[in-house]
Amino acid sequence: MHGEYKMPGGKLVVIDLDVRDGRLANVQLSGDFFLEPDSALRTIDAAMEGLSTETDEVGLAGTIRDALAPDVMMYGISPEAIAAAVRRALQAEHAA
């Protein structure tokens, strides 16, 4: 499943994931954004793994924000933009 969200004034945020037993699995964030340090990418992927597919955007963004160390810097991407891409990936599945 695949979802994309172009953050206004920002970069493209892409989510690829599977759903297993109503939970997010194999979540992969990608895109042309900037993230420091680069290890934060794996932290974000891991934070979303196993979340219920019913989690709303506020809940998704909050979970991502809580998982990130205070020194992580984002440019052209935000927890809210990632959450929007996740919801789009899940909606694409329902529409299919």
Chain residues in the site for other proteins (CB under 8 A): 4-6, 8-12, 14, 16, 28-38, 41, 73, 75-76
In whole angstroms, how close is the CB of 37 to other proteins at the nearest point?
8
Q: Between residues 39 and 52, which has the closer beta carbon with respect to other proteins? A: 39
HSE-up (13 A, CA, CB side) for residue 19: 16
Q: Between residues 61 and 77, which has the closer beta carbon with respect to other proteins? A: 77
Residue type, 5: Y
91/96 Cα distance (integer angstroms) = 9
Residue 30 burial (CB count, 10 A): 14
In whole angstroms, how close is the CB of 82 to other proteins at the nearest point?
12
In whole angstroms, how close is the CB of 13 to other proteins at the nearest point?
9
Closest alpha carbon to 1 in 36, 28, 21, 22:
28
